[in-house]
Structures are given as structure tokens and as C-alpha cells.
Chain A
């Protein structure tokens, strides 16, 4: 764990004998377990056997190489949107706009993938990545600027940007990148212009896992380094924790807000690249990608740590891809699957409560001794 800095050492009882497992991990796992228990109760109430349900849920995500591949593939955009939200959080910003950033980044990436097909693959792929990052960053830049210059709250602004992306894509795709017949999606991206990797697909038995996974891992490492090791990360986090002190120390707080939003946007944009040019193979109009919002949950559960984001994205990816098999094998309705995920998110979001309980347990124990 590279996540010691500035986190969680503040609780009055922040662990007197250094705990073996870091606090955020305990909290995250507790949230997951509580969520699963709540889900079990829910299954029980709807007349299903929870143990059976969970057995198939996990099997569905993991029981074959192909399914593991699909779990990874589902998790890939979540890693990136999770990183986007977590990064913004760490720098004191709430990015609800990962969806729009994904969409617009994915849009530019798709545009490049469909237009510059003459380029050699490595060059083309690089252009696609850059286009996606640029698009997402642009979509983060606007709320960043508005916040820095006019103190417009980024939540309002990023939500607005979501819809601007939605409608931009809605009209631009049919106009310029329409598929042969369908009005509602772009033309299919040629395999050579996509992140699909035949060797990966074969390795995972025909699953949809693609190069995006490596992008996710790479981004996680980079974000982790930026946040924990660099001057830039120092400034960005500082602005997030205490804007006044950052100003006092001579940091350019406004520039940092803009930069943070751009980086967060760029990460989400990269998520869009993996979704549209990797997983989906084209871009559909009229859909705000849910991964943008799931990213918030991923970041919450991860307590905004990059490694945590990776783990929690994998977990959510597994839930999402195992859910269908659970539904197929049991009488648990698909909606319950979503509800279980929502419950876990809920517990992750209220991790403060869990921390309190943990504190209680700890002080009780000490009292016993």
C-alpha cells in the first residue's frame, strides 16, 4: 500500500497498536460483507436461498476462463472511471461527470478510429488513446474553469456536461459516423482500429477482455505515483484538503483545480476509449454510460486509493458479470442483483458509520482487558 499519507491517521483511536490490515481495507471489506448480508436477507425475503444465489453469483463471474475474462472486461472501464472519481475526490472535487467525460472521450476516440484507418496500428492506437484522453480532459476542463473563475460548483457543472456530451454525441454520430443502416449507433470500428487483442481473446476463451485492461492497470500505477510521489500530487491533494493553506503556501490553487478536473476527465475519457473502442466496438447514441456513475461507487468503496479502486472495480465487475448467471440459475430476479450492488454501494458510502462501529469495538475490547 502506498496510501499512508494523510489518510485515516486522524481518528482519535486510529489504532494504538499498528493494525495489520489498513483501516480502509477493513472498512471496505466490512461494507462488502454487510452489503452481501443485506443482499442475502433480500434474497431470503423474496423466497430464494441466498447461499445458492451467491454461489452462482461468484461462479458466474469466475467459473471459467471466459467468464474471468468477462469480469476483467467489465471491470476495465470501472477502473478508469473509479480512478477519475477518486482522483478528483483526493483533490477535493466531486466529479459526477465521469459519464459525460467517458462519452466525449469515447466519441473522439471513435471518430479517430473510424477516420484515420490508414495509419499503422500502433500509431492509430496511440492517436485513439490521445483523442480519448483529450476529449475527457476537455469535458473536465470546462467545470474546472468555471469553478476556478466563477466558483460554480463542479457537481452542477459536471452534470450539465454529461448532458451536453449526450446530445452532442446524439447528433454528431448519426451525422458523421453513422453505421450503414442504424441511426442509433456509429459504424463498427475495425478490429485493427480497436483495442481488441486476438491473443487476449483467445487466452480468455473468446471473452471481451482487451488492451483496455492494461491501460487501466497502467493508469492506476500512474495515478498512484502522481498522488503519492510527485510535487504535482502534493499540490493537488493539498488544495483538496485545505484550499486556504495551499494559497498561503504559494500554490496556484485555481490552476490546480482546473488541472485536477482535466486529469480526472482524461482518466474517464480513457475509460470511454476502453468501453467504446475495446469492449463495445462502436458508440451508441442516447445512452449515458452507467460506468461513469458506477465509478463513484468504486471510488467510495476504495476510499479513493488507486489500488483500492483497482480491487473494487474488479469486485464490481465480478458482481455485474456474475449477476446474469445467478439470475439464470435461480429465481432471484435480475432487479435483486442490482439491488445487492446498490446495497454494497450504500454501505461503502456510509463507511463513516462503519468506522464508528469499528472504533466502538476497539474501545470495548480495550476496556475488557
Chain B
């Protein structure tokens, strides 16, 4: 295996209004290696890779591919140079089939009509080759996120990419899918492809990458050999300070029941029951973790409790007040806070400025509104406060559109907003999805604080570690039914894994 530099980016500078996203960044990728790009949310990783992929034009700097200076004006040119990218937020057309999505933009034609059959055959073949198990005729809207990612991977393979960029590929995957992805990447390397892996999960870097370039606030901090570096060292390079990996959590006596769910039945979009006879109590001063494999009714359960979905039957109480029939407006004011599963769909109005998003539930309450008029000052102050406390990085501050924030900062904004509501019960669904260790540490701390303040937290997460670390009690859901609830200090990972598969304790 020859180790030539297949991609070389030198002195790249990219500015956005009010922020330098990439400041004089240089790095290179060698043939056949996995280079990790490590950095906090908003460090500029996605931007740098978007420059390489032709989505943005840098203000300064040069790119060399296979030793030749190139100008990459758009993704098509990047494809031609053999560069492919799996984006952080997938770019798939939901009501198209997988095959259609893969050929989109480079449709094989037979005469004038698109020859989708040919494409589908080729996709099946590729899929088998890499062990991806992709059905070319399935529609995107009916397949899991992990499958969508495989589609993105296939898309690049279909286009014969030699350099593959993964932008935070594991953020959306289940543990099993992460293992599978590791295998897929190994296969790619075996074939002589080269990979740039963006992540802020240190374990993954340890497991998958050869070298690691660390970026902080738009600048390169350094590049290290993964084998010779410890997790703590990498974390410190990334965050700029020492990071505490374990959650400090004192014992805390649980109080009264805050949220009471009784015999809840909820249907999903396809009209089948996805929550069945579900009862649960969450008490003041505790974090109750709800563990389960993705798609086992967590979404529907949370939507029913927060009022986004009407349950078929059953009851929901907050402090003994029956909220089953209440409006969302009322539920929020009765003390339900909600960090939603999908920040871009539910959590934010992307086209609104950040400051508006930070009062999304309270815009009509004083001091943010008076006599039906929005009050600029208090809204601005409130935004500045949350930006400050939760370290939300936004190029244009409170007035920047939520869309312009990086994913992690969007998440921090939502978490900040909900915690600031000081709700009786905070329903946190995947609260740290897509965040870097520094932010995760901080958000975890805030969740624990919330509990310490005598409030209740219902933590719904697909990451078992997170549940184990934070929870006082762990409830497991499988096929929409409550399997069991166990105290966290008596739980071990294997046992919970079994429960998640529906095996009950005896």
C-alpha cells in the first residue's frame, strides 16, 4: 500500500457573517487511511468538508487532489474527482425509492427513459458486496435512519468515490449499526479507499481512525497518531480544558410523583398500536431513564405525554392534575418541558432568529409580550442569557437565524430553552444527540441539577451509556410495552440489553 497524499487542503479560510468558520486550516489525507476530524460542535468541521465537497467556496487556500491543484465549484465536480460525502443531515428524497435516490442526478438512460432496473441491479450487487443488505425498491420514508445512511454510502460507491467523507455518521445510529458501520469502513479501506471521518466521539476515533486532526474554533490544534494518544489527551485538545467523563451525581431522595401515566394506548402514523397499556410514574428529584431500541414506541409515548398525539385511551397526570385532554399550551404551563427528538422538525423554527426560538413557548407571556406586542428588549436579554449560560455559538448572536447554527449548537439552544423553563418534569429525548463531549458533559450536569432542584426528568435515549450514567431508575420499553423498571445501581448493561429485546427479568 503506497502512502501518498490523496487530498491536501492548505490554508483554508472560510467566513460566514460574523464568524470565521475555518481559519487557515491545513490537513492532508493519505491513500488508504482513516483520518478523523475531531472538534466540538461548531468547530468548523462540516464547513471544512463542505469546502472540499464543493458546497462552499473558500475565501483563501488551495486544495490538491492526487497532487494536482483543483478548483471544486460544486458537488458534481467533487464527484468527478472521486470525492464523496455522507452528510450529517442526509440529503435524500423521501418519497423516492432507494434506487431512485442513488441514481438521482446521474440517471442511467435507455433512450429517453430512465433505466431504473439496471441501476437497481447494480445497487443490489454493490449492496451484497459490502454486506449492506439494502433493498433498492424500498421507499426512503419507510426505512430506518441507519438504512438511509447505507443508502448514502451506496450512493458514493455507485459513483466510484475514492475519498469518502463521513460527517458524524454515528450520531444517528444504534449501537449495532455503529458496529456495522465500522465493518463497512474497514471494507472500504481494504479496497484502497481513503476516509475522512468527522466525529466528536472519542471511542470511535480510537476504534476506527489512524490519524486524528483536531480543530477548535476554526483552527487546527494539532494532528496526532491515534494509537499513541489517550482519550483524555484528545478530549483536552478538542475542548481546550480537562474534561470529566463521568457524571458527578450525588444520591438524592426522590419525592412525590410528578408525572403519572396510566394504562396508555397510543397509535402510530400507520394506525397500529405502538404503545400498549403503558403505566409509569416519574417522581420529583429523580431522573428516570427510558431505555429501548429505536422504534419501540418511545416517540409515540413522548408525543402522547406532551400533547402532540392523541392517545387512544389511558390517562396522564401532572401532580394529580389530569392533562389527558389538555392542549399543549396548557401542558407547557402545567410544567411539562420537552427536548424533542428531532431538533430541526419540532425543536426549532429554522428561519426564525435564535432569539425568537429561545422564546418559542413563551413569546406570549410577560415580559416577552405586552398587550399583544412582542417586547424586543426582554426577548434579546433572555436570548443573551441562554447563549451565555449554555455556550450556544452563533455567528450573529441572538439575531442569527437558527438555521445558521451548527447542529450541536442548535441542540444546546433547545436544551437551554427547556431547562430555563424550569419545568416540573423535563422530558428529554436524546438530549445530547450529535453533541461533543464538552457539551454533553455540560448538558448532563444541567439535567442532574434539574433533578437536584427537586424536579423530575424523564430521559429517553438510545444510548445506553447515557441512561446508565444519569438515571436513578431505568425503565425499559419494548414493542410499546413496559418491560420493567429497575434501580440504576442494580442494573448492568447485559441485563438491560436483554430487556430491550423484550426478555423480562424474573
Q: Do chains A and B touch in the complex (CB under 8 A)?
A: yes
Residues in A lying within 8 Å of B, measured CB to CB: 4-7, 9-10, 12, 14-16, 18, 229-232, 234-235, 237-238, 241-242, 244-252, 363, 366-367
B60 to chain A, nearest CB (A): 9
Q: Which residue of B lies closest to A239 (CB)?
A: B349
Restricting to B331-383, which residues have a CB under 8 Å from any CB of A? 331-332, 338, 340, 345-353, 356, 360-361, 363-364, 369, 372-374
Given contacts A10-B401, A366-B59, contact A248 B353 (CB under 8 A): no
A136 to chain B, nearest CB (A): 23
Give the distance in Å from the alpha carbon of A332 to the alpha carbon of B87 in the complex: 54
Q: Does B329 contact A (CB under 8 A)?
A: yes
Residues of B within 8 A of A242 (CB): 345, 348-351
Residues of B within 8 A of A12 (CB): 16, 55-56
A248 touches which one: B59, B347, B351, B404 (CB < 8 A)?
B347
Please name the 9 residue pairs, one residue from A and one from B, whose CB atoms are nearest each other, closest first.
Answer: A250-B329, A250-B328, A248-B346, A249-B360, A241-B351, A242-B349, A6-B351, A363-B57, A9-B401
Give the distance in Å from the alpha carbon of A10 to the alpha carbon of B348 in the complex: 14
Contact A248–B356 (Cβ < 8 Å): no
Contact A9–B56 (Cβ < 8 Å): no
Contact A4–B328 (Cβ < 8 Å): no
Q: Does B17 contact A (CB under 8 A)?
A: yes
Residues of A within 8 A of B253 (CB): none
Q: Which residue of B lies closest to A12 (CB)?
A: B56
B332 touches which one: A230, A238, A250, A363 (CB < 8 A)?
A250
Q: Could you name 29 residue pairs across A and B whose Cβ atoms are closer than 8 Å?
A: A5-B352, A5-B353, A5-B356, A6-B349, A6-B356, A9-B353, A9-B400, A12-B56, A18-B17, A230-B373, A231-B364, A231-B369, A238-B349, A241-B350, A241-B352, A242-B345, A242-B351, A245-B346, A245-B347, A245-B349, A246-B349, A247-B328, A247-B346, A248-B308, A248-B346, A249-B361, A250-B330, A252-B327, A367-B57
Indicate the member of B17, B350, B372 with the most A CB atoms within 10 Å. B17
A247 touches which one: B16, B308, B353, B403 (CB < 8 A)?
B308
Q: Does B15 contact A (CB under 8 A)?
A: yes
Contact A238–B17 (Cβ < 8 Å): no
Indicate the member of A10, A18, A232, A245 with the most B CB atoms within 10 Å. A245
Given contacts A229-B373, A249-B361, A252-B329, contact A10 B351 (CB under 8 A): yes
Q: Does B399 contact A (CB under 8 A)?
A: yes
Indicate the member of B351, B352, B399 with the most A CB atoms within 10 Å. B351
Restricting to B126-185, which residues have a CB under 8 Å from any CB of A? none
B356 touches which one: A9, A14, A234 (CB < 8 A)?
A234
Give the distance in Å from the alpha carbon of A246 to the alpha carbon of B328 in the complex: 10
A363 to chain B, nearest CB (A): 5
Residues of B within 8 A of A231 (CB): 363-364, 369, 372-374
Give the distance in Å from the alpha carbon of A89 to the alpha carbon of B356 in the complex: 20
Contact A248–B17 (Cβ < 8 Å): no
A245 to chain B, nearest CB (A): 5
Q: Which residue of A lies closest to B355 (CB)?
A: A5
Residues of B within 8 A of A238 (CB): 349, 352, 356, 360
Residues of B within 8 A of A251 (CB): 329
Q: How many A-B residue pairs have CB under 8 A?
A: 103
Give the distance in Å from the alpha carbon of A150 to the alpha carbon of B36 in the complex: 50
Contact B308–A230 (Cβ < 8 Å): no
Residues in B lying within 8 Å of A, measured CB to CB: 15-17, 55-57, 59, 306-308, 327-332, 338, 340, 345-353, 356, 360-361, 363-364, 369, 372-374, 396, 399-401, 403-404
B331 to chain A, nearest CB (A): 7
Residues of A within 8 A of B374 (CB): 229-231, 234
B372 touches which one: A9, A16, A232, A244 (CB < 8 A)?
A232
Give the distance in Å from the alpha carbon of A128 to the alpha carbon of B6 in the complex: 75
Contact B17–A16 (Cβ < 8 Å): yes
Q: Which residue of A lies closest to B19 (CB)?
A: A16
Give the distance in Å from the alpha carbon of A229 to the alpha carbon of B370 in the complex: 11
Give the distance in Å from the alpha carbon of A249 to the alpha carbon of B345 in the complex: 12
Give the distance in Å from the alpha carbon of A5 to the alpha carbon of B374 in the complex: 13
Residues of A within 8 A of B308 (CB): 247-248
B429 to chain A, nearest CB (A): 12
Residues of A within 8 A of B17 (CB): 9, 14-16, 18
Residues of B within 8 A of A10 (CB): 350-351, 401, 403-404
Q: Which residue of B lies closest to A18 (CB)?
A: B17
B14 to chain A, nearest CB (A): 10
Contact A16–B352 (Cβ < 8 Å): no
Contact A244–B352 (Cβ < 8 Å): no
Given contacts A9-B404, A246-B349, contact A4 B399 (CB under 8 A): yes
Residues of B within 8 A of A18 (CB): 17
Residues of B within 8 A of A230 (CB): 372-374
Give the distance in Å from the alpha carbon of A262 to the alpha carbon of B327 in the complex: 23
Indicate the member of B57, B347, B350 with the most A CB atoms within 10 Å. B57
A32 to chain B, nearest CB (A): 26
Give the distance in Å from the alpha carbon of A248 to the alpha carbon of B369 in the complex: 19
Residues of A within 8 A of B345 (CB): 242, 244-245
Residues of A within 8 A of B56 (CB): 12
5 additional contacts (CB under 8 A) given A16-B15, A242-B345, A250-B307: A230-B373, A238-B349, A245-B346, A245-B347, A247-B328
Give the distance in Å from the alpha carbon of A366 to the alpha carbon of B346 in the complex: 37
Q: Which residue of A lies closest to B303 (CB)?
A: A248
Give the distance in Å from the alpha carbon of A105 to the alpha carbon of B496 in the complex: 65
Given contacts A231-B372, A249-B360, contact A6 B353 (CB under 8 A): yes
